[in-house]
Amino acid sequence: MKIDLVTAEIGSTTTIVTLFDKIDTKKPIILSQGEHYTTINEGDITIGIERALKIAEERLGEKVEWNKFLATSSAAGGLKMTVHGLVYDMTVKASREAALGAGGVIKYITAGKMRKSHLKKILEIKPNVIFLAGGVDYGEEETVLHNAELLRNLPINVPVIYAGNVAVVDEIREIFEDSGKKLYITENVYPKVDQLNVEPARKVIQEVFSEHIIHAPGMEKIEEYVDEKIIPTPAAVMRTTQLLSELYKDVLTVDIGGATTDVDSVTEGDPEIQSIMINPEPVAKRTVEGDMGVFVNAHTVIELIGEKELRKRFENFDKLVEEISPYPKTIENEKFMAALAEYCFVEGIRRHAGRKKHIYTPLGRKTIAQGKDLTAIKYIFGTGGVLTRSKFNKTIIKSIIGQHKHHPDELLPKEIKKIGYDKNYIFAPIGVISTIDKEIAINILKEDIEFFNID
């Protein structure tokens, strides 16, 4: 059987293959889906893809051929990055937003002129890419040139992305010439005071990711399958959230995995809050909570909730802890996982959100706001294994409703119109499809979303 499209989401634990057909119509079809453990440890990622594909074919009842094969991946553990800028609240923060939105895993950040101790730390981390920024356009030059000279001489051959003051681009090129390090130059992430410009840098980071992932252990053969560049799974989910924003304006997506909870928001916020905001925030923002997941980090979440509290709710607590698995076997196992997921959902959004603060001035108390303003969010979506497949996903997602009343100083969603979820577990495939054809991606997205009644 000849079909239009196959996608593979290659995770650190599992690989999910999805078969699509009639993608150029208003009603695209998901024919089948297969899932298998990722085989990066076997030295060949395609083994897991082939096994997942076979499962999908068995469920369909036919072998398939396809016109196009696309993939996203987080199997290489993400793109380890170090970020170096001028002022933490300005260029460093902007660089961080660009990296996280593109699926980078930030391991180290410096602000101002770098020192030997900073270089030593970078060598210990062994990053996959170094992100260098600093200075508004035609502003301060000395710091970024100083840092470039130090980074040039680091005895590691990793690519460097420059997204700083445009006035010194020629000097930056000269510094890294013959250094053995590949240099990528993009637009300044902080071109003017109080102006973020993160999208161009995000695109370059994804380009570096595509080149890096091909050479990751076990990934060498992936080129035999894919017809386009692989993009990071977190970046793909961010793209899907941006598509959701085109449909519903102010939106937020929560992706709860076994190890992390990722939150993506696309909103300009409430004008009233923006008038008291002291630092700019990107319209599209991603945060990653590396201590909150329902499998690898389940024990950490248990500690955050409190064992005493969970023992009150679950009589057979010890047995349930022993049986923690990405694939819960009983309804009680699933309820326990849902309790952990509910905490991850609410806490992930709370950490993503900014807050109001009260300061005292000669004219009296003044209210300011800092961080991402989520108060205008009207639509909230869930994706990831537990939010897609759990019998309790509605309860988990609904847990955010009314939280703004309990935390009045936090910039949480206040008037949620609808909550929904990724019923086919394809937010990442939709994101990569959007890089080829946005209209097709939006049509698939419309068929995929299932809304719950808030009542």
Q: Is the pLDDT of residue 260 over 70?
A: yes
Residue 78: pLDDT band with limits 50, 70, 90:
low
123 and 57 both lie in a single domain: no
Task: Look at residue 208 in the predicted model and tell me its pLDDT.
Answer: 87
Residue 220: pLDDT band with limits 50, 70, 90:
confident
Of 187 and 231, the one with more pLDDT: 187
161 and 237 both lie in a single domain: no
What's the predicted TM-score (pTM) here? 0.88
Strand partners, 85: 111
220 and 249 both lie in a single domain: no
36 and 85 both lie in a single domain: no
State the average pLDDT over residues 6-11: 92
Q: Is the pLDDT of residue 389 over 70?
A: yes
Q: What are the tens digits of pLDDT across the range 136-185? A: 999 999 999 999 999 999 999 999 999 999 999 999 999 999 999 999 99
Q: What are the tens digits of pLDDT across the range 298-355? A: 999 999 999 999 999 999 999 999 999 888 999 999 999 999 999 999 999 999 999 9
User: In this structure, what CATH number is given to the domain that contains residue 161?
Assistant: 3.40.50.360
Q: What percent of the chain has pLDDT over 70?
A: 98
207 and 247 both lie in a single domain: no
36 and 86 both lie in a single domain: no
Domain enclosing residue 435, as ranges: 231-452
Q: Is the pLDDT of residue 73 over 90?
A: no
94 and 155 both lie in a single domain: yes
How many separate domains does the chain show?
3
305 and 442 both lie in a single domain: yes
Q: Average pLDDT over the chain, rounded to whole?
A: 93
Task: Look at residue 16 in the predicted model and tell me its pLDDT.
Answer: 94
Rounded Cα distance between 67 and 84, Å, is 43
22 and 137 both lie in a single domain: no
Domain stop point among 212, 247, 278: 212
Q: Which of 9-23, 93-107, 262-276 has the lowest mean pLDDT?
A: 93-107
Q: Is the pLDDT of residue 77 over 70?
A: no
